[in-house]
Amino acid sequence: MSMKHGQSQHFLSRVTLRVGRLARELVGLRAERPTVSRATEGVLFPQPSGPYIIDDDELRQIICENNKHPLAKVTGRVWKQDPAMPGNLKDVNLKAFRGDNAFVWQTRGAPLSNFVVSALWAERKDSHQLLRNTHEDGAFGVECLQILNRLWSRDLIDSLLEMNFLLDHIPTLEGKTVVDVGAGYGRLLTRMADVTESTRLYGVDGVAMSTAICRAYVRYRQQDHRIGVLSLKEADEFDDAIDLAINVHSFSEMHIEAVRFWLGWLRCRSTRWLFIVPNRPGPSLNDGTDLLPHLDEYGFELEVSARKYSDQTVGDHSLFQGDYYLFRSREETHRPQEARINST
Ligand SMILES: C[S@@+](CC[C@H](N)C(=O)[O-])C[C@H]1O[C@@H](n2cnc3c(N)ncnc32)[C@H](O)[C@@H]1O
């Protein structure tokens, strides 16, 4: 039975009040009632879609290069890009690629209260004061919530939590060579460019459309002089030593042989730190494959791990609990042989 308009308004204002109270109790901040413009959904979409910013010539070039690369043989089930439909990628709307899709799930039916709790937790956990230099503007369809004067998205929440975790364990990101493997649309890289002066930030991806979207988004943010988005061919040629490699929800979705390719690639570039946020703890792949023996084989040992939301009550009422793993290379200077793909 559907509620009448007056009844539903009353119900929603009671829910909103309870959400505010719950958030204040859990996080201990002086939060006021969350402001939402579309009360029926509780989530604000400030800009449902943006302009089409992908450079089609660039995309064609990347597809052409990637198809010749050995990694193309082991594209996982999740991220297979249909060569016959190069203009499409899974459920990604090319004008709203920050919306709900396989890059970053948005609220996906989670209650508004979980969004509020996560935002307030991220604000409280921002011990490195990164919020001074990064903010959400709602571009390209990302789902947002406004609390006081700040717009929040899962992009902002997750990026803040990830960067604060990294800074808790790595003295600085400033001036470091950072490579995000499976960078998606460039969520974390663009946030890192917001909060550092670093000019050695790189993204690489095995899926051509992801690379093209990431390049376009980085240009849109005017950070292309500081973030390099590498095609697979450019990745092969990349010769810098890597201070920090990042892998957020992407090894999980690859074939194990692709993961091993990237682990070999990272070892060849003397990668010192490797930060992994898997879909399943372990870390493991979506199919349950334990990554620890593979990481060990390539010389990475676990330095520290933590729950994304360290408080269980908050985690239970958050937007997607998760696990952080920071690995450190055992031999920082040794450069072994490049890994080879040995399976289809
Ligand atoms: C769930 S998305 C995560 C995106 C991003 N790391 C983030 O957290 O916003 C997974 C990413 O892995 C990439 N990917 C899939 N297979 C890959 C492969 N074999 N090599 C490198 N990247 C791959 C996809 O294109 C996509 O960008």
Of 229, 236, 295, 251, which Cα lies nearest the Cα of 79?
251
- 301 C-beta neighbours (distance < 10 Å), count: 12
Atom of ligand 1 nearest to the CA of 89: 25
Sole residue written with tokens 């372990």: 282
What pLDDT was estimated at residue 81?
62
What pLDDT was estimated at residue 168?
97
Atom of ligand 1 nearest to the CA of 255: 19
Answer whether residue 20 is part of any domain. Answer: no
The better pLDDT of the pair 108, 270 is held by: 270
Answer whether residue 106 is part of any domain. Answer: yes
| Pair 95, 140: CB distance under 8 Å | yes
103 lines ligand 1 (CB under 6 A): yes
Distance from the alpha carbon of residue 46 to the mean position of ligand 1, in angstroms:
26
**Residue with the nearest Cα to atom 26 of ligand 1?**
184
pLDDT above 50 (res 11): no
Atom of ligand 1 nearest to the CA of 210: 25
What pLDDT was estimated at residue 276?
98
72 lines ligand 1 (CB under 6 A): no
341 lines ligand 1 (CB under 6 A): no
12 lines ligand 1 (CB under 6 A): no
Structural domains in the chain (count): 1
205 lines ligand 1 (CB under 6 A): yes
Answer whether residue 89 is part of any domain. Answer: yes
Distance from the alpha carbon of residue 124 to the mean position of ligand 1, in angstroms:
29
Q: Please state which of the ranges 6-10, 198-202, 242-246 shows the lowest mean pLDDT.
A: 6-10
Atom of ligand 1 nearest to the CA of 104: 9
Answer whether residue 5 is part of any domain. Answer: no
253 lines ligand 1 (CB under 6 A): yes
Q: Which strands make up the sheet holding 178-181, listed edge to edge?
A: 227-230, 201-204, 178-181, 244-248, 273-277, 323-329, 300-307
What pLDDT was estimated at residue 87?
65
pLDDT above 60 (res 171): yes
**Residue with the nearest Cα to atom 1 of ligand 1?**
103
Answer whether residue 9 is part of any domain. Answer: no
Please report, as a single letter, which amino acid is at residue 179.
V
| Pair 78, 102: CB distance under 8 Å | yes
**CATH number for 149:** 3.40.50.150
Distance from the alpha carbon of residue 329 to the mean position of ligand 1, in angstroms:
22
Distance from the alpha carbon of residue 205 to the mean position of ligand 1, in angstroms:
6
CA–CA separation, 198 and 305 (whole Å): 25
Query: Is the preceding omega at residue 171 within 30 degrees of 0, hence cis?
Result: no
What pLDDT was estimated at residue 15?
40
What pLDDT was estimated at residue 12?
39
What pLDDT was estimated at residue 39?
35
* 68-88 pLDDT tens trace: 999 988 866 677 765 555 567
Per-residue confidence band for 227, with pLDDT thresholds at 50, 70 and 90: very high
Mean pLDDT across the stretch 269-290? 96
Write out the DSSP string of 12-71.
Answer: HHHHHHHHHHHHHHHH-----PPB-S-TTTT-B-SSS-------HHHHHHHHHHHHTSGG
Answer whether residue 51 is part of any domain. Answer: no
Q: What is the DSSP letter of 290?
A: B
Entry field: residues in the chain: 344
For the chain, where are the E strands, in sequence order?
145-147, 150-152, 178-181, 201-204, 227-230, 244-248, 273-277, 300-307, 323-329
Look at strands 178-181 and 244-248 and give their pairing.
Answer: parallel
Answer whether residue 163 is part of any domain. Answer: yes
158 lines ligand 1 (CB under 6 A): no
Answer whether residue 4 is part of any domain. Answer: no
Structural domain that includes position 133: 56-329
